[in-house]
């Protein structure tokens, strides 16, 4: 399982994902679930994945092939998608990734139907900004369709989202400063790590300020990271103190 969260505030976007993939208590591995692309001064994109690892990797391969084909001057066709680095909008970028999802599902449908657990789906969070447009955040479903974060719900989650959702519901609005959104994402992950063994470190954190078209932070947080441990301990202490003050 996994947990990925994307937050959209007026000052920019924050993305956080874990790296644990497990197929049982004795088969635990690490796989990166956050992928980034930039065209300096023009656009910056982040994609996070959850669900069937084979499906996610196949979708990422199709996206990469589309980027490489266009860079090499090869015409795109039925088997090659347009490049997400030249898409005219973030909406079209989400459509391209959704099309990749459908292509993978159609190509391997028979094999997926024969899987013992029948779990072939993957969900993805896409976020970013291109020049001339606002930062946008999308949740892409296994069927290839998607929804977009908006002012009423300025964050999206995939994977084991229930443990990390309460703090986001309480503190995140579009007016939340970017630094506070970063902190909320980390505390949301901390709550999930404490409550679900299928989510695990290290973590990947990316911050994209509005109109920067470049990431201000791309960090891998290891289990021994002192800053994350201090934040986790401070949150635990604050919750205990708050509990004691309620009669």
Query: Under a CB-based contact definition with an 8 Å cutoff, are residues 140 and 123 in contact?
Result: yes
Helices (H), the chain: 53-71, 90-107, 109-113, 165-171, 178-195, 226-245
Range of the domain at 235: 3-245
pLDDT band at 23 (very low <50, low <70, confident <90, very high): very low
The residue to which tokens 């109109």 are assigned: 211
- Residue 82 has a pLDDT of 94
Q: CA 28, CA 119: separation in Å to the nearest integer?
A: 18
The set of residues, in sequence order, having a beta carbon less than 8 Å from that of 103 and lying 6+ positions away, is 62, 81
Query: Under a CB-based contact definition with an 8 Å cutoff, are residues 8 and 151 in contact?
Result: no
For the ranges 79-88, 107-116, 177-186, the one whose mean pLDDT is highest: 177-186
CATH value at residue 100: 3.60.20.10
Instruction: Enumerate long-range contacts of 168-172, CB under 8 Å, 24 or more apart.
Output: 168/5, 168/7, 172/7, 172/9
For the chain, the domain total comes to 1
Q: Per-residue pLDDT for 212 more than 50? A: yes
pLDDT digits (tens, 9 = 90+) for 96-141: 999 999 999 888 767 666 655 556 789 999 999 999 999 999 999 9
Q: What are phi and psi of 71, to 5 degrees?
A: -65, -30
The answer to pTM > 0.85 is yes
């Amino acid at each position: 399982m996994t947990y990925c969260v994307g937050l959209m505030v007026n000052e920019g976007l924050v993305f956080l994902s874990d790296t644990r993939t497990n197929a049982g208590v004795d088969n635990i591995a690490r796989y990166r679930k956050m992928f980034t692309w930039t065209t300096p001064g023009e656009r910056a994109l982040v994609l996070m994945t959850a669900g069937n690892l084979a499906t996610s990797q196949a979708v990422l391969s199709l996206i990469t092939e589309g980027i490489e084909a266009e860079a090499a001057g090869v015409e795109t066709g039925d088997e090659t998608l347009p490049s997400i680095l030249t898409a005219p909008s973030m909406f079209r970028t989400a459509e391209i990734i959704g099309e990749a999802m459908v292509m993978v599902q159609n190509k391997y449908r028979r094999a997926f139907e024969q899987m013992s657990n029948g779990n072939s789906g993957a969900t993805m969070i896409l976020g970013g900004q291109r020049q001339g447009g606002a930062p946008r955040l999308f949740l892409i479903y296994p069927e290839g369709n998607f929804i977009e974060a908006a002012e009423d719900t300025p964050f999206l989650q995939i994977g084991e989202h229930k443990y990390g959702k309460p703090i986001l519901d309480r503190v995140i609005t579009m007016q939340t400063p970017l630094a506070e959104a970063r902190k909320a994402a980390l505390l949301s992950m901390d709550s999930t790590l404490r409550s679900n063994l299928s989510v695990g470190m290290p973590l990947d954190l990316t911050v994209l300020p509005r109109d920067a078209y470049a990431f201000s932070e791309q960090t891998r947080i290891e289990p021994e990271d002192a800053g994350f441990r201090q934040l986790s301990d401070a949150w635990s202490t604050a919750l205990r103190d708050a509990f004691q003050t309620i009669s």
